[in-house]
Amino acid sequence: MTDDSEDDAADASVDGGADPQALADRVADGDLRLYELDDHADAETAATARRLVVERDTGVDLSATGDYAFAAESADSNIENLVGGAQLPVGVAGPVEVHGEAADGDFYLPIATTEGALVASVNRGCSAISAAGGATVRVTKRGMTRAPVFRVDGVAEGAEVAEWVEDNEDRLAEAAEGTTSHGRLQSVTPYVVGDSVFLRFSYDTGDANGMNMATIATRAAAEVVEDETPASLVALSGNLCTDKKPAAINAVEGRGHTVTADVTIPRAVVEERFGTTPEAIEEANTRKNLIGSAKAGSLGFNAQAANVVAGVFIATGQDEAHVVEGSNCITTVEAREEELYASVNLASLQVGTVGGGTDLATQSELLDVIGFAGGGDPVGSNADGLAEVIAAGALAGELSLVSALASRHLSSAHEELGR
């Protein structure tokens, strides 16, 4: 059979008019597996058939799960064995005034969450920031990383590989960048541990989160390392990246976007909006976020940065598991005569405005609400803008929560809004 005839046969096997009930019966009879349904029906019909199968096997009515707004085929690259959509309430905080290099103006912050009082708390912080003239935000570093691990005979051979890599970074860049039209290799840092060599590749990935881009590019570069050195690739990810796990290397070196936001709020605004004083907020932050976090051995020295990061990530189609790195935040507060200074530093905020879940209907819509959907001009500016707005939102959340603790209003807010 020719390639063309194979394609025709594959196309013919997908029946847009297939009966979901009949397909579910075939799964029950063992004639089809759940993942094979996409080969016999369009995406919407296949999802319906899967729901029928699961409903039969579990006795659960999945009508709410089956009531979703996106087109099933639009999620092909995001999910396997689709049965429907999980719906979360989405609230907006703001607008908050942001003065960044990519984001400059007033921005709403969409937050998807089931935690009562969260949006209200962030909104209060946004109000105080705007009343003070806005938050200043800067992205200070960018770089999506992937760190393969190689096997060598020992330390001497490992040092030889590390030296070769340092002398031939241009060759690795050529191989890596040949796999993508957007990614650019920024650096390769070798680490020798006994008979293991780790190479931490860092890429500028433009407006994409870039994890898949970095993985594919690193595979091509790793082949060059194997061809030209004694090293043998063991795993394309050696956990020195570090992806979706708490890691000090991300806190120090950064991953994705390293972004910092700060604000100076007059004492009168602090007292009016937060019902407490700059001195009380500083003490609460020092004893809780700094001393308490240090005693706990935490990598994040903050009150609730992950709340804002997670809520915006889910709302805008980011990889939600990267909240692990997004919670890696240091919050500082200082009382200064007649004002309060506060800042947040998120060392490894991994965001994108193209690819992944950003193309889904709701997520794309909410990225549009912020103002940074799709590719930016220049490339990378939309991802930078999103990172800056999220950092301002995290600052708002930190200010509000620490102030609530300082004024002893936290429990009453949750009694009113979170129960």
Cα 354 to Cα 76: distance, rounded to the nearest angstrom: 16
Paired strand residues for 342: 263, 333
Contacts of 409 (CB under 8 A, 6+ apart): 275
Q: Determine whether 409 is an active site residue.
A: no
Which residue of the set 319, 320, 334, 365 is catalytic?
A: 319
Q: How many CB atoms lie within 10 A of CB 39?
A: 11
Which residue of the set 55, 115, 283, 334 is catalytic?
A: 115
Contacts of 61 (CB under 8 A, 6+ apart): 55
Q: Determine whether 61 is an active site residue.
A: no
Exposed e or buried b per residue across 17-38, where buried means at least 16 C-beta atoms within 10 angstroms of its C-beta: ebebeebbbbbeeeebebeebb
Closest CA to 391 of 208, 207, 263, 293: 263
| Residues 241 and 146 sit within 8 Å (Cβ to Cβ) | yes
| Residues 176 and 373 sit within 8 Å (Cβ to Cβ) | no
Cα 295 to Cα 299: distance, rounded to the nearest angstrom: 11
- Return the SS3 of 197: strand
* Half-sphere exposure of residue 344: CA atoms within 13 angstroms, side-chain side: 33
Q: Determine whether 319 is an active site residue.
A: yes
| Residues 180 and 204 sit within 8 Å (Cβ to Cβ) | no
Q: What is the number of helices (H) and of strands (E) in the chain?
A: 16, 10
Which residue of the set 40, 99, 409, 414 is catalytic?
A: 414
- Return the SS3 of 211: helix
Cα 109 to Cα 122: distance, rounded to the nearest angstrom: 9
Contacts of 29 (CB under 8 A, 6+ apart): none
Active site residues: 115, 319, 414
